[in-house]
Structure 1
Amino acid sequence: MKKLIFFLLLLLSTTIFAQQKRVETSIDTTKNKIGAEFKLTLKTSVDTLSKVVFPNLKNIGALEVIQSYPVDTVKNNDRYELIKKYGLTQFDSGRYVIPSIKILINNKPYQTDSIAVEVTNVQVDTLKQKMYDIKDIQPAPDTIGNWWKYLLAVLLILGIGAGIYWFLKHRQKKKIEEEVYKTPIEKATSLLNNLEKKELWQKGEIKEYYSELTDIARNYIEEAIEIPAMESTTSELITGLRAASVKKKMVLTPETIENLERVLKQADLVKFAKSKPLEFEITEDRNKIQKAILTLDNSIPVEVINEEDTLLNEAQRQKQIALQLKKKRNNRITISVASVLFLLLATTFYLMATRGFDYVKDNLIGHPSMELLEGEWVRSEYGNPAVIINTPKVLKRTDLTKSLPKEGLALVKEMQSFVYGSMIDQFYLMVSTLKYKQETQVDLKKSVEVYLQTLESQGAQNMIVKQEDFETKEGITGVKAYGTFTRVNPENNDRDRMYYEVLLFAQEGGLQQILILHQEGDKYANEISERVLSSVELKHEGR
């Protein structure tokens, strides 16, 4: 009986333990440095209908949760394996325990295992570690560039041109609607109504009011009665009107012509003698003009026009309107394009006056070296022992061992070369490192001579050479050779004057080399060279 009870208790405890083990707990490492990440992994296997809830925690025990990773789901036949990871860290050294975490599976709690971890200090050997001054604040690189400024300027100028076109279209359309009428009396009546809507004399603009009022009357007389009313004086106009009325057999009373003459003379006094009529006089003069125009129109003998002539006149009128619209549209386009061109030219000349012709040419047309200079630079290590350098583009690995003579190649244990461009491009950059099979005392000055001879063998002519010592920020000294030479461009057979800079450093059992080539006088390439060479940092083997 005792054995049976013991067996049942053992079976029960095993069942409970198995239930608790539905969540597996693991960690990538139990020992890490201050601030480093411990990756805690929780794993459980459930059927497809089960619901599992992992807690969203900011801290687990004394460790901070710096990253709560998404749950990974792996389907295995008719079951799901759910994997949840937490990134933990601690900024104080010592021994810590990651406590158990409660996981809900179908609303039933399950506990994870607790794990002990250790956080250690970062060992710093101040005797071997070289100390440097604090660097100045460096500006963030402009990864966007200035293209958006030019795009904004172009859009602004095009917007101004579109605004001018819309303004002219709106104004000319309104003007055409005012100008094209079936008859002179229709036009005069419409203009008189528009004049009253302006309320000029109410605003104190009496001279402008009388000027427009008399122009309406004169224009009507010129179009309807066909006498030169616009260019005539008041006396000449009245004399011509009387003569035309007799010639055209118009029935006019002396009062009509006298009222018109009186208003015209009143207008002359307002325009030239600065006379200021009273309000009721202005109203009376307007009514007299309107009455005179209507009387003149009614007195003109009516010509009998058949229906065909009426349709023909309407067709001619519509054709006239279409021609005027087309002409106005062409004028709008011409003015808008001319405005845009003027703004572009004005902006171009302003930039040329303030920044110079080269600035405008390089920014509008483009310049390869400028694009390299203003692009996103990279800092990388190349070769062994490594050359750490900033470059406008990532250098590509290339095999230059074939260019070495056989006797030289026999001495080389390892050679690694990285380049941008080619020897015939406007800009060329090369970083190369080599290690000798046997320990060799490298004479840098002789190495420079050999290097320059190699350039001559590749087509360099009339070479000018200058040499000086070069020292990196870490205090490593080398030799710098620079100058100019002439090369024949194989594409067009032109002779280009090139500027070169060569840096050589003798490291333990090897040589580190940097070569820069570009066209002489290229200011952007000069800035690239300065920026590249000022960033050079060298590493010893094993450092």
Structure 2
Amino acid sequence: MKKIILLLLLSTTIFAQQKRVETSIDTTKNKIGAEFKLTIKTSVDTLSKVVFPNLKNIGALEVIQSYPVDTVKNNDRYELIKKYGLTQFDSGRYVIPSIQILINKKPYQTDSIAVEVANVQVDTLKQKMYDIKDIQAANNALGDWWKYLLALIVILGIGAGIYWYLKNKQKKKIEEEVYKTPIEKATSLLNNLEKKELWQKGEIKEYYSELTDIARNYIEEAIEIPAMESTTSELILGLRAASVRKKMTLTPETIENLERVLKQADLVKFAKSKPLEYEITEDRNKIQKAILTLDNSIPVEVAVEEDTLLNEAQRQKQIALQLKKKRNNRIAVSVATVLFLLLATTFYFMVTKGFDYVKDNLIGHPSKELLEGEWVRSEYGNPSVIIKTPKVLKRTDLTKSLPKEGLALVKEMQSFVYGSLIDSFHLMVSTLKYKQEAQIDLKKSMEAYLQYMESQGAQNMIVKQEDYETREGITGLKSYGTFTRLNELTNEKDRMYYEILLFSQEGGLQQVLILHQEGDKYANEISERVLSSVELKQGGR
């Protein structure tokens, strides 16, 4: 950033080092569609290897012809000449960027060159004229197809969610009604398992998994121990403890048979064991017998009135649980309602106003927030620049970055910025006064600035220039256009738009720079508002 300002404010001439690669072009001004011939020359010895790149585009110009390399022998050296035919179909000022040439695998850079493309003038007096056609209504029947598709997807999604919820609720209700007791549920599931004929189809692992799940579910519901998440050993220990606690009349044989089947199932599921057909039948019978024996061994309690069974503390606990359940249901319904309304509102605005409107107003947009914030009108530098900005610009000190010879020429330099060159929006105002008055060439200063931007990573630059005049009648130079840069955060290329104003007063320079992402409509409005507010105060302080 500091180097850019230094070159802009102190340089009117670009000094280049002697290079092994010479760059030239047949003309710097041409018409739309006409050919520029870019020539690259290098002198090497007879053993050197030179590689010229094969390019489809050089900057914003299209390569329409890559000419063969010409070789001219000069004593013990060769002069290699490579030409590229370039063209552009849009008027404006462009920069042909540096090209990398490999000489013995060592890279060398060509010089960048500025060119202009002008419109072809058309003599309308010799052209046959036609009447202007009436305005035709655009057929937009298919233009909004995505809105209807999106609405259909949302409606189908809501319908599928409601169907899934009701189906599961109905299924659970049916199960509760059909299986009034755990033993009825286990017996029914065992019969259904046999009808599937899983092990007959070779799905032994799936068969044993369902068989043991039926037994575990029964034990968990009827005997009230955590059977589903317990290992086989933990389940058997818990079952023995529960049989003592509940005074169940269980024989050791029943528990041993159940343990044997559960371990057999573990071998099938985890060790890929394959029992024989008669073993599978026996295991199924053992599970069924174990479930029936467990059910018969559970003591039957005599039904009494609930009020006499439960004491006051238990009843209060039940009431609290019911209240908590109702409260959770109300919260769930409230959250679901809010989410539905939010989605419905978002969808409505997407259909009626578009996705960008929803994104900018609900999610937020940095440039929009700047535009709609409280603007300030301030005076910066000397000779001062009066300007309106969305935020107060912060002073930055550049004197420490100046070389001694440059600092000796400067009487006063001030710079004020918002953001930086790597941000999505950047604004800078800078002024400079020399100790001795000098005639400053604004075009050369602008050229130095643009070429340095390119050397710092700006690619495919499109440059347009025009004279600029403030409301007070002070004239300057305006440069604007676009370029691409590598975003270090996303590692992708961003297309940037820039505008630069340069003024020369009292032997000094005044500059305003705005840089933002191309296509940002809010940043465009900020740029127009800032530049239209520029005032230059003549005379020192």
**TM-score bin, normalised by smaller chain:** 0.3 to 0.5
TM-score (norm 2): 0.40
Structure exhibiting the larger radius of gyration computed from Cα positions: 1
Highest RCO, 1 vs 2 (Cα 8 Å, sep ≥ 6): 2
